[in-house]
Amino acid sequence: MAVIEVQHLKKEFSYYKKKPGLAGSLHNLFHRETLTKEAVRDISFSVEKGEIIGLLGPNGAGKTTTLKMLSGILYPTSGQAVVDGFVPWERQNAFKRRFSIVMGQKNQLWWDLPASDSFYLNKCIFNIDDQQYIHTIEELSELLEVRELMSVQVRRLSLGERMKMEILAALIHRPDILFLDEPTIGLDIVSQQKIRGFLRYYNEQQKTTIILTSHYMRDIEELCQRAVIISQGQVVYDDTLSKINQLMGDKKVLTLKFSEDISAQQLAPFGKVRECKCREGILELPKEGIRTTMADILSRLPVEDFTVTEVPLEESIALIFRKEGAVS
pLDDT digits (tens, 9 = 90+) for 188-235: 888 899 999 999 999 999 999 999 998 888 899 899 999 999 988 889
Residue 323 is predicted with a pLDDT of 62
Residues 118 and 169: beta-carbon distance below 8 Å: yes
* Cα separation, 99 vs 83, whole angstroms: 9
Phi, psi of 27 (to 5 degrees): -60, -35
Q: What is the pLDDT of residue 72?
A: 94
**pLDDT level of residue 325 (50, 70, 90 thresholds):** very low
Query: Tell me, what's the pLDDT at 51?
Result: 95
pLDDT of residue 326: 42
Whether the predicted pLDDT of 39 surpasses 80: yes
pLDDT of residue 278: 87
Q: For residue 328, name the pLDDT band (cuts at 50, 70, 90).
A: very low
Which residues, other chains included, contact 327 with Cβ-Cβ below 8 Å and sequence gap of 6+? 236, 237, 247, 320
Percent of the chain at pLDDT > 70 equals 96
Per-residue pLDDT, averaged over 56-67, amounts to: 89
**Confidence band, pLDDT 50/70/90 cuts, at residue 143:** very high
Q: Residues 9, 43: contact at Cβ < 8 Å?
A: yes
List the single range of 180-184, 222-226, 252-256, 311-315 with lowest mean pLDDT: 311-315
Q: Examine the pLDDT at 238 and tell me if it is beyond 70.
A: yes
- Report the DSSP pairing between strands 251-258 and 280-286: antiparallel
The mean of the pLDDT values for the chain is 88
CB burial of 117-146 (b: ≥16 within 10 Å; e: otherwise) equals bbbbbbbeeeebeeeebeebbeebbebbeb
Residue 245 has pLDDT above 70, yes or no: no
C-alpha–C-alpha distance, residues 154 and 224, integer Å: 30
pLDDT score recorded for residue 322: 67
- Segment 222-250 shows an average pLDDT of 84
pLDDT in tens, 251-299: 888 999 999 998 999 999 998 898 898 899 999 888 888 889 989 999 9
Q: What is the pLDDT of residues 74-132, one digit of tens each?
A: 999 999 999 999 999 999 999 999 999 998 778 889 999 999 999 999 999 999 999 99
Mean pLDDT of 45-57: 94
Q: Please compute the mean of the pLDDT values over residues 158-173 and round it to a whole number.
A: 93
pTM: 0.80
Q: Which domains does the chain have, with CATH numbers?
A: 2-98+175-245 (3.40.50.300), 251-310 (3.30.70)
Q: What confidence category does residue 30 fall into, taking pLDDT thresholds of 50, 70 and 90?
A: confident
SS3 per-residue string spanning the chain: CEEEEEEEEEEEEEEEECCCHHHHHHHHHHCCEEEEEEEEEEEEEEEECCCEEEEECCCCCCHHHHHHHHCCCCCCCEEEEEECCECHHHCCHHHHCCEEEEECCCCCCCCCCEHHHHHHHHHHHCCCCHHHHHHHHHHHHHHCCCHHHCCCEHHHCCHHHHHHHHHHHHHCCCCCEEEEECCCCCCCHHHHHHHHHHHHHHHHHHCCEEEEECCCHHHHHHHCCEEEEEECCEEEEEEEHHHHHHHCCCEEEEEEEECCCCCHHHHHHHCEEEEEECCEEEEEEECCCHHHHHHHHHHHCCEEEEEEEECCHHHHHHHHHHHCCCCC
Amino acid 327: pLDDT = 41
Contact predicate 138/215, CB 8 Å: no
Looking at residue 14, what is its pLDDT? 86
**Inter-residue contact 288 to 298 (CB < 8 Å):** no
Higher pLDDT, 35 or 201: 201
230, 232, 235, 240 alpha-carbon torsion, rounded to 10°: -30
Better pLDDT: 13 or 326 = 13
pLDDT at 319: 74
Q: Is the per-residue pLDDT at 324 higher than 60?
A: no
